[in-house]
């Protein structure tokens, strides 16, 4: 967490991310439009994992009108700019996570409620490096997803088993 000037751990570096994105776009010959700015801001406001459609709904609720295609196109650019990453927790649709501030890359998923919690698991890093080198791989990134029963669901365990599809 070596930041150039100041380290606010609550506000997730809004200015830098915007600068990173603008630099990336310019370098690719792409344009920084108001839609892209609004989507980036919406993304920066997410503290945990989010879905494309969720983003669209929330932006429209706030009065920002963006089309679904533009959301997807911008998410793709944000991925290539290494500002967000895809998470793949659910087979139904993609999830995304901000990756520019901190990058947990580890997730706890409750198999009852489908809630997703990003958690820190720094020890995993060295293990993945070791495994990669054992197999001759050059490590790039990794993702650890753990499925289990959240404390809340353990408490409500005697209720009807909450008709949710169990994902494993």
Partner DNA sequence: CTTGCTGCAAAAGTTTTGCACACGT
Partner DNA sequence: ACGTGTGCAAAACTTTTGCAGCAAG
- Residues interacting with DNA, by CB under 7 A? 25, 29-36, 51-53, 65-70, 72-74, 76, 91-94
Bridge partner residues of 86 (DSSP): 96
CB of 96 to DNA, least distance (A): 9
- CA-wise closest residue to 43 among 77, 3, 2, 88: 77
Q: Does 124 bind a second copy (CB under 8 A)?
A: yes
Q: Does 128 bind a second copy (CB under 8 A)?
A: yes
Q: Does 123 bind a second copy (CB under 8 A)?
A: yes
Within a 10 A sphere around the Cβ of 76, how many other Cβ atoms? 12
- As a whole number of Å, the CA-based R_g of the chain is 18
Report how far residue 72's alpha carbon sits from residue 18's, in angstroms, rounded to the nearest whole number. Answer: 18
Q: Does 168 bind a second copy (CB under 8 A)?
A: yes
Say if CB 124 and CB 131 are below 8 A apart. Answer: no
Q: Does 94 bind a second copy (CB under 8 A)?
A: yes
**CB nearer DNA, residue 31 or residue 135:** 31
Q: Does 156 bind a second copy (CB under 8 A)?
A: no
Say if CB 68 and CB 56 are below 8 A apart. Answer: yes
CB of 107 to a second copy, least distance (A): 10
Report how far residue 25's alpha carbon sits from residue 28's, in angstroms, rounded to the nearest whole number. Answer: 5
Binding interface with a second copy (CB under 8 A): 79, 85-86, 88-91, 94, 106, 108, 110-111, 117, 119, 121, 123-124, 127-128, 131-132, 135-151, 154, 167-168
């Amino acid at each position: 967490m070596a930041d150039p000037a100041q380290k606010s751990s609550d506000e997730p570096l809004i200015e830098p991310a915007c600068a990173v994105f603008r630099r990336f776009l310019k370098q690719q010959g792409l344009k920084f439009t108001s839609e892209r700015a609004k989507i980036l801001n919406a993304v920066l406001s997410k503290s945990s994992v989010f879905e494309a459609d969720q983003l669209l709904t929330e932006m429209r609720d706030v009065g920002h009108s963006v089309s679904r295609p533009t959301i997807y196109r911008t998410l793709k650019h944000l991925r290539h700019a290494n500002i967000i990453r895809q998470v793949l927790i659910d087979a139904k649709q993609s999830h995304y996570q901000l990756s520019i501030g901190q990058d947990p890359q580890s997730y706890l998923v409750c198999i009852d409620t489908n809630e997703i919690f990003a958690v820190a698991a720094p020890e995993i890093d060295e293990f993945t490096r070791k495994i990669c080198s054992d197999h001759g791989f050059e490590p790039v990134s990794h993702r650890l997803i753990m499925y289990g029963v959240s404390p809340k669901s353990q408490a409500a365990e005697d209720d009807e088993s909450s008709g949710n599809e169990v994902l494993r």
